[in-house]
Chains A and B, each alone.
Chain A
Amino acid sequence: MAIDDIYTKGIGEGWQVFDASTLQQDQTWEADVAIVGSGAGGGTSAEILSAAGLKVLILEEGPLQTAANFKDMNDARAYGELYQEGAGRATADGAISILQGRAVGGTTTVNWTSSFRTPPHTLQYWAETFGLKNAGEAEMAPWFARMEERLGVAPWAVPPNANNDALKRGAEKLGWAAHVIPRNVRGCWNLGYCGLGCPTNAKQSMLVTTIPGALKNGAQLVHHVSVRRLLFAGGKVTGLAAEALGPDCVKPSGVRITVKARHYVLAGGAINNPALLLRSGAPDPYHRIGKRTCIHPVNLTLAMMPDKVEGYYGAPQSIYSDEFQWKHGARGPVGYKIEVAPMQPLLGSVIYGRYGEELKTGMAQLPYMQSMLALLRDGFDEQSQGGEITVDDSGAPLIHYDIGDYLWDGMRRAYLSMAELQFAAGARQVLPLHLDAQLCSSWGEAKEAIGRLAYAKQRLPLFTAHLMGGCAMGEDEKLTVTDSNARFRHADNLSIIDGSLFPTSIGANPQLSIYGFACKNATKLAKELKA
Chain B
Amino acid sequence: MGNHPGRAAQSPAAPVDAGRRTLLQAGLFGSLLLAGAGATAALSGCARRSESTSQGFQFLRDADLPLLHAIVPAVLGSMLPPAGAERDRLVDDLLHRIDLSGYRLGAPAQKALGQLFDLLNLRATRWALTGIGSWEEATPRQMQAFLERWRGSSFGLLVAGYRALVKLVSGAFFGTPAGWAAANYPGPPPGPYQVFNS
Interface residues of A (CB under 8 A from B): 1-3, 67, 71-76, 79-80, 84-86, 88-90, 92-95, 189, 191, 193, 199-200, 250, 312-313, 344-346, 348-350, 352-357, 359-360, 363-367, 392, 394, 396-398, 404-405, 408-409, 435-436, 454-459, 461
Contact = CB atoms under 8 A, between A and B. Distances in A.
Interface of B: 1-7, 10, 74-79, 97, 100-101, 103-109, 112, 144, 147, 151-152, 156, 159-160, 163-164, 166-167, 169-176, 179-180, 182-185, 188-189, 192-193, 195-198
Contacts of B78: 357, 360
A357 B78 CA distance: 7
B170 A455 contact: no
A91 B77 CA distance: 29
13 contacts: A73-B188, A85-B104, A88-B109, A353-B167, A356-B74, A360-B182, A363-B182, A366-B183, A392-B107, A404-B2, A435-B159, A436-B7, A454-B4
A193 B192 CA distance: 11
B196 A199 contact: yes
Nearest to B3: A456
A490 B188 CA distance: 50
Given A92-B108, A349-B183, A392-B108, 17 more contacts: A1-B195, A71-B193, A73-B196, A76-B97, A76-B175, A79-B175, A191-B188, A199-B196, A344-B185, A346-B175, A346-B179, A355-B76, A392-B107, A394-B107, A405-B2, A456-B3, A456-B156
A191 B196 CA distance: 12
Contacts of B167: 350, 353
A383 B16 CA distance: 35
A90 B77 contact: no
Contacts of A454: 4-7
B198 A409 contact: no
Nearest to A355: B75
B49 to A, nearest CB: 15
Contacts of B101: 80, 86, 88
Contacts of A350: 167, 170-171, 174
Contacts of B152: 435
A348 B105 contact: no
Contacts of B174: 345-346, 348-350, 363
A85 B108 CA distance: 11
Contacts of B189: 191, 313
Contact of B170 (A75, A85, A92, A349): A349
Contacts of B7: 435-436, 454, 459
B196 A71 contact: yes
Given A359-B75, A408-B1, A89 B160 contact: no
Contacts of B169: 355
Contact of B160 (A93, A199, A397): A93
B4 A456 contact: yes
Given A353-B163, A454-B6, A193 B188 contact: yes
Given A80-B104, A346-B174, A405-B2, A2 B196 contact: yes
A260 B106 CA distance: 28
Contacts of A346: 171, 174-175, 179
Nearest to A97: B167
Given A1-B195, A354-B166, A456-B156, A88 B105 contact: yes
